[in-house]
Amino acid sequence: MAFRDIRIAGKLAIVLGGAGAVLIAALLVLFLQARTQMFADKTDNARQLVAQAMAVLEANQALAQSGQLSEEQARAAALAAIGRMRHGDGDYFWIQDAAARIVLHPIKPELNGKDMSTFKDDGGTPIFVEFARLAAGKDGGELRYVWPKPGSTAPQPKIAHVRQFAQWQWIVGTGVYVDDVERAFLQNLLTQGGIILGALALAGFAMLLVIRASITRPVAELQEVMRRVAEQRDLTLHTGATAGDEIGRAGRAFDHLMDALRDSFTSIVSSSGQLAGASQQLAAAAVQVRDSSESQSESAASMSAAVEEMTVSIAHVSENTAQVRELGELSYKQELDGSRSVH
């Protein structure tokens, strides 16, 4: 079905649904951006913490350079200081070398001195090899991986920042667990997102009610009046529209059209009556003309008969005159003959 064939209510529902989907997508993007920002804050926090540990290493290396401590004493002091450092919820620092051998791991001391180049986290990432690779950069680098929290064996998502302390060929790093970021993201998504979605649903429902009252119902009423006019041929029907919107103006225009059509038909009926009267007069005149024609025909017939009679009379007179002339001629001839006999 084409979009233009869908009813107005359906079209409006599609438009509102599309707008709601766009808003939901926008909200999801905002929540994801907030989640990304929280990860960025965690990463920045890890970077600053590593900078503090680097400051401890630099301070002890400076003591060794100044001769106040031997290099071995300086390294031991640095390891002891960094091993005691904590942040967050029991988070710690570790030190390794470029060959992925652990120099210091305060939570799992059994890893100290152990080669971890073949170790992989539950995601399959050789994290200590990656730490060595990232630390070779100018400002170090960050890595996401999974690692158990202190006192637990279940791996949790974590972000680590590592940097290289070139003077002693050590790599110092720390990680911050980000499971709280995921929890906060889901909590915000469910609570704030639910509130926003509920508000959108209520607003959409209210909008549908307004649309139904101001658009769908008036259009249906206008359509019903048009249907009744078409079926009943009743030009006195009106929509009675009073609204100032397009539908109200369309209803009033329809009412004006009905009035104009009714006036036109009234005028046509009146003109038809006048035309009927004129037709009757014309018919009467035609009858008179016919009657006059018949009288004239009768008069012409009478005149023709009189003419015929006159013609007959003239013929008779002519015959009588000829006889008289013949008699006259005969009498004259006889008189001449009588005169001759006397003489």
Query: What pLDDT does residue 299 have?
Result: 60
From first to last of the 343 residues of the chain, give the pLDDT tens digit: 677 777 777 777 788 888 888 888 888 888 889 888 988 998 999 999 999 999 999 999 999 999 999 999 999 999 999 999 999 888 899 999 999 999 999 999 999 999 999 999 988 999 999 999 999 988 899 999 998 887 778 888 999 999 999 999 999 999 998 888 888 888 888 888 888 888 888 888 888 888 777 777 888 788 888 888 888 877 787 887 777 777 778 878 888 888 888 888 888 877 777 777 777 887 777 678 677 666 666 665 666 665 566 666 656 655 655 664 665 566 556 556 655 554 5
pTM here is: 0.57
Q: Which residue has the tokens 């259009």?
A: 219
Question: For every residue of 220-260, which 3-state class applies, written as one string?
Answer: HHHHHHHHHHHHHCCCCCCCCCCCCCHHHHHHHHHHHHHHH
Angle between helix axes 246-342 and 217-232 (nearest 10 degrees) is 20
CA-to-CA separations, 221 to 236, 242, 256, 260, 291, in angstroms, rounded? 16, 13, 17, 21, 62
DSSP β-bridge partners for residue 95: 104, 172
Judge whether 93 and 100 are in contact, CB under 8 Å: no
* Bridge partner list, 96: 102, 171
CA-based R_g, the chain, Å: 63
Nearest to 52 by CA among 149, 182, 173: 173
Please check whether residue 149 is in contact with residue 177, taking contact to mean a CB–CB distance below 8 angstroms: yes
Strand, coil or helix: 343: coil
Estimate to the nearest angstrom the gap between the alpha carbon of 140 and the chain centroid: 50
Other beta carbons within 10 Å of 28? 12
What's the distance, Cα to Cα, between the start and end of the chain in Å? 145
CA distance 266 to 274: 12
178, 165 Cβ separation under 8 angstroms? no
Contact 236, 262 (CB under 8 A): yes
